[in-house]
Structure 1
């Protein structure tokens, strides 16, 4: 682009784009509810908060017990966490506990098949289609034949930082979300490269005799990107909502975008979540509720892909304006093809990914499956990661059979949304066409309509607006469900509730519940607060929250802000990952571990500068831990970028090196279980 004149250059910057505008009416919080909340808060203050809140497993009346001896107070549970806490720091490196080691694996741009170029700033769009994508996020390790040293690592790539990707950006003053356009267009191959840096990577990795992991070129290795053909399955398949110029019969679409958290099914497939996808589109005319409630705007898309030079069909589809006589002649319905959970079979490289529409359309942070039980429905949970959005549960219509189970189970069932009552009880409200007013009289014409407009249906049913529901996890020992509520600076005193009790919630919290009678498919539950984030002083932390099980405040060993990633390992350790955007006193984003029985919470790992820790999985023997470091160096200012000075040079750690997202492998030097 060196021949482009400066007067043809324009910069587009829509900001981070991680939470598009969502238009909604808040469900009312009546004065009686507010009074009840305040009264209950006084009770919490009188008991030092911890026991009444059930912090770290103490006091959740409805929770299942995994032992008949829990009432014996003289019996102290064995400690799960055998490491010394890592200190807060702001170094441009990975810090792990004493007695542990780590390795950086598959940074953005790593080739995963033969004949593909190594990472370089001038890589093409075609190169990127054979390389590890950008901005690593949720992931899962699938041991081949149960192996803990040889398996498929499947991981999401949430979004991209255009200024790091293109030769045309060198020397320009660009923030992390900014991108250049030239004469009102974007170079087509730059757009192609960005689309191919999104999606999912499936890559075989093996552990060598030197304890180091490496990529193994294999027929199973593949990239699933923003251009990959995908099937639409479930109740929305073939309906007028998803008919487009590309798929006039409404059965196919192209690509998956903004894949944040993930899930893994009982039948060994991978689930990629489509989270903040709405900002990728524009609609410059009529903006129906299928667009408006989800944040599709009228300006340029987040990356202005619709402006790609040449006007190729795979690019112009990001303009959802009405242009033809009907939906089969344009892309007015393209945004409705996104916002789903996407199932991928990592062991069948020829299979098309499938968008499972029965699970609802919203900003899926991920999906977590409860342990499957023979002869019972499959149950899974998902959060809608935006301020004042909801937590959902899906229960399959058919029962689980290990011998025959497949993704077809996810095409029929009941989608529920959570209502958290102030007395610690909760209800699952069914989002079913024809029930409870979800019918024509209130604007819903079919079950497909309810699913396409999941947020509107949840609004109508009176679900509880939460503080950005993110990752969830299920404790394999007792079925308790945990969900991250990462933060919500927009919550005010006027719309507090017991499940979201902090105004201007800067530091976030974790909510937990137990389904009635231990049945995951139950329609009622009991809940409490597992953890309030915050620092060890008073700043940003209310006087009666931020306590450990004994009523003490968080300490230097465990302060945290904006929890995001969450996973519970087979031994019930609760792994908590930060995406704080804070510095003092929290330092770089970190990962902590909690023991839900003893209440111990320790910092296990600290990442490099200007990143978030996200994504987590283990080998089957629990001796290898995989986590992701996303967007190191994101805080580099526009001026510093122009000068080639990055706030982080991780993982290469050499002067001038471009920061790159990457996976980190962690193990215990004595060969033991990680965390023990």
Structure 2
């Protein structure tokens, strides 16, 4: 056995599998724009508060409308007692709340219901809950708050914890068992593929208040092998022709699903985020369809799936090298079938998932929809989670009609990318043929070419490079759109100054904006909701430093509940968690914020080595589901070999750590957070 090669950047705050920076465009960097904007006001270090509190002052073209909208909205209560930071290997919630651990990785949900075991086969895994729980939504059955379909993404796997055969090997969080010649065991590869994807599982609350899995025909796994249809402008084009689908109409599987989306017609969208690292490509010349997404000449993939013994077609496809006489004879185009949003109908277990290509191709963190209005276009937003990448918006060509709406609405429309201006205004730049210089003369042949090369198109039109756009959320009352920007360490020591005292953006921040009228507008006004950080290097909406009950770093997950509480989840990388300047934050956590006052209170802390991610509620707001991903990821290679895991959550004792869902309720049965 030997260690795998590791691919990509050694950036100390990139988590396992995160995509290294690949944007070399000269476009404006958001940090530079913010810096210039507040510098112009001659702010001193101590008055960074004013920069935050007054970011949307009187200079905005429609700031008055923004303020009026906010003033009419009722402020939500944060009726719980904030909890302190924690480095313990357990979940902590406020007084008066209780937690049930639910559906950990390996829980049987379908088929012959194979029991969890480290020695379970790859076929068993296809009938069990996947690994590394992430984005999630509860679809009530008949409006019930006690019976529904829980649908959740599984972002990636830690093979060392997945396979019994890995016990005793010196493997880090990215390591995997392999043969001396570098080949992989095919059943281990099958298990890893089947541990990716999405789980659909019926869940029900019993009379004792506990939730349980219900054996049901709706239960199914969508994995890295599931047949999927391509739809929209890229479908059927030469960009996606492969040996599996010479006509470019189909592909197999979805990978690295992070956040998600829920359509107005009640289907689920899984996001394909850090997918590019899964592919090898030994071609000496690789075009922008892959290089702009981080694929360069290499014989390695994240898990070396293409080196599974036996040479099965479903694993060979992860080598994107040109080997045949045409694209229909090999998998040179296989990476072009990834980086999309994948629509899944949880209500129809026989339905085929669909990749909606008009929403763009990049490292999708997720997608959020503005409230749908009868007779108006559908609007949704998505972030590209990599350093210096962009925020996008899609506006459908056809209007929303509740009686007939379906996913085809996402196949025709206009994809836009955001430009944030120094004065607090912003504009949406269309990524469409003939607009903003996207012409054949500039290298963009047609709409399919633009969408396969979404990042290159955004570079060309002059979008603003952001600090890793993560989750978004739309305020159900004001319509304000929020996005987390988790971190970016580009700014080096010596570049700090009074307007931006930190030498880098290691802690991240949250931005929000108001569209100019409706969500279809091409202009908006933006401000900063919070600068994350410790008590010395953070600011809330009022411009004040965050107190001990509110400090956080690397904001990632984001959701706004029906009462307008802004829920913030953190993802401090395991490489720095509980170390150095990040020690003060403890384990990753979840907080709640008041969107008007900016008050923030810590609601939950998780076990050791994990990320808090994924959040959804029952319709009555009395049950909250939250995911805990990759507990124990901070376990070093030698410690793993010795069985000395950093976490044994959720089972405790000497158990292998497992990602799982938390079911949170109030002891008095009340509304969560109130």
Are residues 1:564 and 2:562 paired?
no
Unaligned residue ranges in structure 1 (runs of 5+)? 1-8, 71-76
Counterpart for residue 622 of structure 1: 621
Query: 1:301-353 CA deviation, whole Å, 9 max, x = no partner?
Result: 00000000000000000000000000000000000000000000000111110
Q: Secondary structure at the match of 1:397?
A: strand
Query: 1:573-605 CA deviation, whole Å, 9 max, x = no partner?
Result: 000001113321001100000011232210000
Query: 1:503-547 CA deviation, whole Å, 9 max, x = no partner?
Result: 410100000000002x0000000000000000113xxx2xxxx22
Q: Call closer, same or farther: CA 1:206–1:92 in 2, change over 3 Å.
A: same
Counterpart for residue 169 of structure 1: 166
Q: Secondary structure at the match of 1:321?
A: coil
The aligned runs of 1:606-617 (5 Å cut-off) are 606-617=605-616
CA contact (8 A) 1:467 1:500 kept: no
Counterpart for residue 74 of structure 1: none
CA contact (8 A) 2:28 2:465 kept: no
CA contact (8 A) 1:357 1:451 kept: yes
CA distance in structure 1 between the partners assigned to 2:305 and 2:348 by the alignment: 30
Counterpart for residue 318 of structure 2: 318
Q: Call closer, same or farther: CA 1:29–1:174 in 2, change over 3 Å.
A: closer
CA contact (8 A) 1:277 1:339 kept: yes
Q: Call closer, same or farther: CA 1:303–1:245 in 2, change over 3 Å.
A: same
Counterpart for residue 463 of structure 2: 463
CA distance in structure 2 between the partners assigned to 1:125 and 1:295 by the alignment: 29
The aligned runs of 1:5-84 (5 Å cut-off) are 9-14=1-6, 16-27=16-27, 36-40=37-41, 42=43, 45=47, 48-53=50-55, 61-63=64-66, 65-66=68-69, 80-84=77-81
Q: Secondary structure at the match of 1:12?
A: coil
Counterpart for residue 365 of structure 1: 365
Counterpart for residue 597 of structure 2: 598
The aligned runs of 1:52-131 (5 Å cut-off) are 52-53=54-55, 61-63=64-66, 65-66=68-69, 80-131=77-128
CA distance in structure 1 between the partners assigned to 2:432 and 2:455 by the alignment: 13
CA contact (8 A) 1:431 1:458 kept: yes
Q: Call closer, same or farther: CA 1:275–1:176 in 2, change over 3 Å.
A: same
CA contact (8 A) 1:132 1:201 kept: yes
Counterpart for residue 658 of structure 1: 656
Instruction: Work out which of the residue numbers 192, 205, 211 in structure 1 matches 2:209.
Output: 211
Compute the TM-score of the two structures, normalised by the length of structure 2: 0.93
Q: Call closer, same or farther: CA 1:267–1:674 in 2, change over 3 Å.
A: same
CA contact (8 A) 1:64 1:480 kept: no
CA distance in structure 2 between the partners assigned to 1:32 and 1:212 by the alignment: 50
Q: Secondary structure at the match of 2:415?
A: strand
Aligned-pair distance for 1:23?
Answer: 4.5
Q: Secondary structure at the match of 1:40?
A: coil
CA distance in structure 2 between the partners assigned to 1:363 and 1:188 by the alignment: 28
Give the length in aligned residue pairs. 651
Per mean C-alpha deviation after superposition, the further-off stretch among 592-601 and 250-259 is 592-601
Aligned-pair distance for 1:51?
Answer: 2.5
CA distance in structure 1 between the partners assigned to 2:504 and 2:410 by the alignment: 37
Counterpart for residue 410 of structure 1: 410
Counterpart for residue 271 of structure 1: 269
CA contact (8 A) 1:422 1:498 kept: no
Aligned-pair distance for 1:494?
Answer: 10
CA contact (8 A) 1:114 1:217 kept: no
CA contact (8 A) 2:529 2:598 kept: no
CA distance in structure 2 between the partners assigned to 1:498 and 1:143 by the alignment: 51
Aligned-pair distance for 1:168?
Answer: 2.4
Counterpart for residue 391 of structure 1: 391
The aligned runs of 1:174-213 (5 Å cut-off) are 174-182=171-179, 183-213=181-211
Q: Secondary structure at the match of 1:63?
A: helix
Query: 1:631-651 CA deviation, whole Å, 9 max, x = no partner?
Result: 000000111100111100000
CA contact (8 A) 2:616 2:626 kept: yes
Q: Call closer, same or farther: CA 1:391–1:502 in 2, change over 3 Å.
A: farther
CA distance in structure 2 between the partners assigned to 1:141 and 1:389 by the alignment: 30
Compute the TM-score of the two structures, normalised by the length of structure 1: 0.93
Aligned-pair distance for 1:180?
Answer: 2.5
Q: Secondary structure at the match of 2:584?
A: coil
Per mean C-alpha deviation after superposition, the further-off stretch among 223-232 and 111-120 is 111-120
CA contact (8 A) 1:126 1:193 kept: yes
Counterpart for residue 575 of structure 1: 567
